[in-house]
Chain A
Amino acid sequence: GAGVSQSPSNKVTEKGKDVELRCDPISGHTALYWYRQSLGQGLEFLIYFQGNSAPDKSGLPSDRFSAERTGGSVSTLTIQRTQQEDSAVYLCASSPGSNTDTQYFGPGTRLTVL
């Protein structure tokens, strides 16, 4: 079956521009996560959506970062006024729902801020 998909796969932008990253989770998965991976580092949690509950935004590094999940499915991560330190691979994952479930990752979006 289809896995988690993300778009675009690569994004190059200029400092100060806004970017939107998209994630399509596995159909039926109620939980959706965004992580960020800087060069040579492990993954850093950003935000978590579970069903209709209020999202856990505790990992967002600044108020320039926001995310929404429409209709309990597709999610968009928006970074406003991008900075060079925002350059990273942004990974989305989904899981069936339980907080102990395996998370299934998409291929990621590589963001480069010039």
Chain B
Amino acid sequence: SQQGEEDPQALSIQEGENATMNCSYKTSINNLQWYRQNSGRGLVHLILIRSNEREKHSGRLRVTLDTSKKSSSLLITASRAADTASYFCATNPDYKLSFGAGTTVTVRA
């Protein structure tokens, strides 16, 4: 069963704008990971944030984690056309990753 739920389901933005998507989950976790998927195929790992971390940065990505609210957010700054993809959060209370249905981001040129 899916533990993570992303919000919104879809997002359309202009190139150069920021994109923010949220993830909520249900049970306690060891860490939370964000993945990107292009064209419905392989997933690319973006960033991992551990349960004892509150914020993490990687290039144009900023991830926050609030374990009290069981939620995380992914911010992509200065978006580019190449950022067009589906984004998934995944939690692992154990070794199995549990994914949400994803947020589809479209960046318009």
Chain A contact residues, CB within 8 Å of chain B: 31, 33, 35, 37, 40-43, 45, 48, 50, 56, 59, 89, 91, 93, 99-100, 102-108, 110
CA separation between A103 and B88, bound complex, in Å? Answer: 13
Q: Which 9 A-B pairs have the closest CB atoms?
A: A99-B95, A42-B99, A107-B42, A105-B43, A43-B99, A45-B96, A42-B101, A100-B30, A105-B42
Do B30 and A40 have beta carbons less than 8 Å apart?
Answer: no
A31–B95 contact, CB under 8 A?
A: yes
**A100 CA to B94 CA, complexed, in Å:** 7
Query: B residues within 8 A CB of A37?
Result: 40
B100 touches A108 (CB 8 A): no
Instruction: Decide if B64 is an interface residue (CB 8 Å cutoff).
Output: no
Residues of B that sit less than 8 Å from A by CB? 2, 4, 30-31, 33, 35, 40-45, 48, 50, 88, 90, 92, 94-102
Contact indicator A108/B41 (Cβ below 8 Å): yes
B88 partner residues in chain A, CB cutoff 8 A: 42-43
The answer, among A40, A42, A43, A103, for a CB contact under 8 Å with B45, is: A103
- For A31, the chain B residues whose CB sits under 8 A away are 95
Alpha-carbon separation in the docked complex, A93 to B42 (Å): 9
- Which chain A residues lie closer than 8 Å to B41 at the CB level? 89, 107-108, 110
Q: Which residue on A lies nearest to B102, using beta carbons?
A: A42
* Residues of the A chain whose Cβ atoms lie less than 8 Å from the Cβ of B4: 42
Query: For the complex, what is the distance from the CA of A43 to the CA of B6, rounded to whole Å?
Result: 13
Q: How far is the CA of A107 from the CA of B41 in the complex (A)?
A: 6
Interchain CA distance A107-B102 in the complex, whole Å: 18
In the complex, how many angstroms separate the beta carbon of A29 from the nearest chain B beta carbon? 13
Known: A31-B95, A40-B101, A42-B102. A100 touches B31 (CB 8 A): yes
Q: Who on chain B is nearest to A109 by CB?
A: B41
- Chain A residues contacting B45 (CB-CB under 8 Å) are 102-105
Interface centre among B43, B45, B50 (most CB of A within 10 A): B43
Q: Which residues of B lie under 8 Å from residue A41 when comparing CB positions?
A: 101
A6 nearest CB neighbor, chain B only: B42
**How far is B94's CA from A98's CA once the two chains are assembled, in angstroms?**
10
